[in-house]
Structure 1
Amino acid sequence: MNNTFFKRVLLPGFILQSVLIGGGYATGRELVEFFLSSGPLGGLLGILVATAALSLISMISFELARITQSYTYRRFFKQLLGKGWFLYELAYLALGILVLAVIGSAAGRIAADHLGIDSNIGTIALMMAICALVAWGTKIIEKVLAGWSFLLYVTYGVFVYLYLDKHGGQLGEQLFAGSIESDWFINAIKYVGYNIAALPLILFCVRHMSTRQDAMLAGIFAGPLAMIPALIFYLAMVASSDQILAAAVPSDFMMQQLNAPWLQAIFYVVLFGTFVETGTAFIHAMNERISEVLVEKKKSMSKQLRAGLSAIVLIASVYLAGSVGLVGLIGSGYGNLTWLFIAVYIVPILSWGAYRVFFKTQSIEIKQQFAK
């Protein structure tokens, strides 16, 4: 079972999609900001570019991680950036605080607005679910994230089908209506710039890859698997693009237009689950980074320690960050974080990383053999 095609090739893409959607396009707001704002066709082109870029970066990253046995972001960036590896960690911690604070707030809002319970209960339920998952470690996380991804695909598929059936009669005309804004390409690159920060968090999946072909295929599939829900959601949004551009939360507007309470309840339960997935990925990466240091010191990380550290980080992110204005501070510099991730990850992986993968593979593997 450890060497099945699913685990070697498809699992990384499903887990990447799990991480991206909760912190990003699940409500549609991100799709408006980066794609629909460039015009319906410009946004579609942007999604295709973003998908291709995610695949390319994933291919090189997975293979570099495989041949250097770098299954945590700490070890991976030591291979990619050398002594400058901590630059990614600083950016990751800043982004992590922001993302955890945002999903904590969003979980509370969903609980209050759509499930009819107190917002604090929603936030606490989110934190408990994340702590429970990270305490059980990588194998359980892989199964839960992959399983929830399938559920999400089904839910989004039904949602988009029903919405287009009711409002998509002129989708073809709407898709090609209007002009393509000149910023469509740079918006796609910016989208990839900060979303790609999640890729090193899922390198634990690379353990299942045994050959270069595995890594390359996994990378090729990662982009489409991560972006297909975004694409079908985007096409539904195009059907009502004028109204959605002005909507604070596009998914709320679309659900109101559908007037299907049963689907709304299912959708927001699934959406809540995506927040759990995203939070779990960020916290699990932190735990794996700490565990790696403990292993180097001949120690191990217990389930209790994993859960305890997770709870501390979540509480600090959700409550303290908001009270001291840190979320606003980081949020105002979110664009700068995007360019930072481009500088410390995308540029190095497409240059030095690609060179090591395609031209220095043999020397890397020899070093690994001597290190064993």
Structure 2
Amino acid sequence: MKKIIPAHLAVAFVWFSSHFGGGFASGRQIVAFYLKHQWTSIFMPAVSMLLMAMTLYFSMVIAARFKVYDYSSWSKKVFGPTSAVMSPLFEILFNILMVLVTAVAFATGGSTIAKAFGTSYMLNTVGVALVIFFLTIYGAALVRKSATIVSLILIACMFIIYIPNIIAFFPNIIKNFAAIKSGAIVTGSPDTLLDSLWWAVKYGALQCCAIGAYIVHTQACPDKASLKKAAIVGFIINTGMMYLTYFGILAFADQGVLKEAVPSLYVVMNGVGGTWMTMLISVCIILGAVSTGVALVYGTTNRIVNYLGRDLDSDEKKRKRGIHAVASSSVIVVACWCVAQFGLIPLIGKGYSNIGWVTLLVLTLPVLLRGFGIWRFSKKEIGEA
């Protein structure tokens, strides 16, 4: 793969594929963090991704410098003398995010199916939960390997959906932006520039919470030049896709799209190529939600299974692994399903925003302080590397 895809591009794509899940594909995150917060939100996707790019770059530089490629060892190095308290706190935060993101995957799939086919939201989430459960038990490896393919399909679909609609409804985009700026279209609470900036920072910090998933990829390009390229390319890809979604949804802001649980589905059903694209985007959003849910549930299940088998010999551990996996996955899936019943809009609007500001304090600020040299590594910390 190194001969085909440069290492920095591969790392940038890992960032994008992790960012681009069911919640983003649905368009709900763009509405909750940007379009509902004053006209100045037009600048904020770039602010969010700049914060994420800097945090990602400094995180990988630290990982390469001290050769710590798992998030547990990495967090201890970042937090230094405060790691006894901060590392467990980061671990708790990371696992809360995993439950929340999986619940959003359930809710995204449930809302999309309900909107497309008119079936019950609760029954839809049960169906999505069962699919994720069985894939976790029997086919997680296959789903993980196909994650890149799923992401590429989703990217292609978003281009197919939004570019024609942006072109066709460009005058409406200009009109709606002017109406939001003048107050003729009320997107949410009467926010100020600082409010819009705060929501952008929370979104960027929210994405930083998953930094543990990127650390291992530092080994692909351990020099600073490659890591800088990865951060720059990742910034361009992620920011570009966010603006594509932003303007595509903005075209329908005067038609109530901001109140929709799945704005991208509304765009398809009311825009260019509505009939045949509805099924396409529905399948793709569900695919993205399921693949995200499987990866997260499987990862957490694996950790619980290893914990349950910690005192068993290798033969007994292997024999009981299946039972432990079924039990662990069942508990996680049921817990995530219960959280999903709050609905997609509150999960993203309130759940994600709260995780965002906590992550800002617990993780993003310490990494930036380390990266900019404000909080320097002590000679003892450097000597332990």
The TM-score bracket by the shorter chain reads 0.7 to 0.9
Deviations 1:122-181 (A, max 9, x none): 332233335556446xxx83x523222222221100101222233223434544562594
Q: TM-score, normalised by structure 1?
A: 0.80
In structure 2, the residue matched to 1:17 is 16
- The number of residue pairs the alignment matches comes to 360
In structure 1, the residue matched to 2:185 is none
Task: Report if the CA contact (8 A) 1:160-1:233 is conserved.
Answer: yes
Task: Report if the CA contact (8 A) 2:28-2:348 is conserved.
Answer: no
> CA 1:53/1:281 → structure 2, altered by over 3 Å: closer, same or farther?
farther
CA distance in 1, matches of 2:16, 2:302: 20
CA distance in 1, matches of 2:141, 2:340: 26
Task: Report if the CA contact (8 A) 2:22-2:285 is conserved.
Answer: no
In structure 2, the residue matched to 1:33 is 32
Structure 1 unaligned spans of 5+: none
1:352 maps onto 2:370 in alignment: yes
In structure 1, the residue matched to 2:187 is none
In structure 1, the residue matched to 2:237 is 225
1:199 maps onto 2:197 in alignment: no
CA distance in 2, matches of 1:246, 1:110: 14
> CA 1:88/1:200 → structure 2, altered by over 3 Å: closer, same or farther?
same
CA distance in 2, matches of 1:174, 1:206: 43
Q: Secondary structure at the match of 1:96?
A: helix
In structure 2, the residue matched to 1:341 is 359
> CA 1:215/1:363 → structure 2, altered by over 3 Å: closer, same or farther?
farther
Map 1:317-332 → 2, pairs under 5 A: 317-321=335-339
Task: Report if the CA contact (8 A) 1:35-1:44 is conserved.
Answer: yes
Aligned amino acid, residue 357 of structure 2: W
Aligned-residue CA RMSD (Å): 4.0
In structure 1, the residue matched to 2:274 is 260
> CA 1:310/1:63 → structure 2, altered by over 3 Å: closer, same or farther?
farther
> CA 1:267/1:283 → structure 2, altered by over 3 Å: closer, same or farther?
same
CA distance in 1, matches of 2:288, 2:147: 9
Structure 2 counterpart of 1:249, from 262, 278, 286: 262
CA distance in 2, matches of 1:364, 1:332: 38
1:125 maps onto 2:131 in alignment: yes
CA distance in 2, matches of 1:306, 1:64: 36
In structure 1, the residue matched to 2:75 is 77
1:274 maps onto 2:318 in alignment: no
In structure 2, the residue matched to 1:171 is 173
1:184 maps onto 2:196 in alignment: yes
CA distance in 2, matches of 1:65, 1:134: 28
Aligned amino acid, residue 347 of structure 1: L
In structure 1, the residue matched to 2:93 is 91
Comparing 240-249 and 213-222, the one that deviates more: 240-249
Aligned amino acid, residue 335 of structure 2: S
Q: CA deviation at 1:96?
A: 2.0
Q: Secondary structure at the match of 1:71?
A: coil
Q: CA deviation at 1:93?
A: 2.0
In structure 2, the residue matched to 1:110 is 112
> CA 1:367/1:216 → structure 2, altered by over 3 Å: closer, same or farther?
farther
CA distance in 2, matches of 1:169, 1:329: 33
> CA 1:130/1:71 → structure 2, altered by over 3 Å: closer, same or farther?
farther
Deviations 1:240-275 (A, max 9, x none): 223223434322321221252321111121111221
> CA 1:323/1:217 → structure 2, altered by over 3 Å: closer, same or farther?
closer
Q: CA deviation at 1:290?
A: 6.6
Q: CA deviation at 1:49?
A: 0.8
In structure 1, the residue matched to 2:57 is 59
Q: TM-score, normalised by structure 2?
A: 0.77
Aligned amino acid, residue 162 of structure 1: P
Aligned amino acid, residue 213 of structure 1: A
CA distance in 1, matches of 2:221, 2:307: 23
Deviations 1:27-56 (A, max 9, x none): 22221121112344x222001111211111
Q: CA deviation at 1:334?
A: 5.2
Task: Report if the CA contact (8 A) 1:35-1:46 is conserved.
Answer: yes
CA distance in 2, matches of 1:29, 1:173: 22
In structure 2, the residue matched to 1:212 is 224
Deviations 1:54-110 (A, max 9, x none): 111111112222233333322221221222201111112222222222312332343
CA distance in 2, matches of 1:166, 1:330: 29
> CA 1:33/1:95 → structure 2, altered by over 3 Å: closer, same or farther?
same
CA distance in 1, matches of 2:115, 2:348: 26
Aligned amino acid, residue 253 of structure 2: S
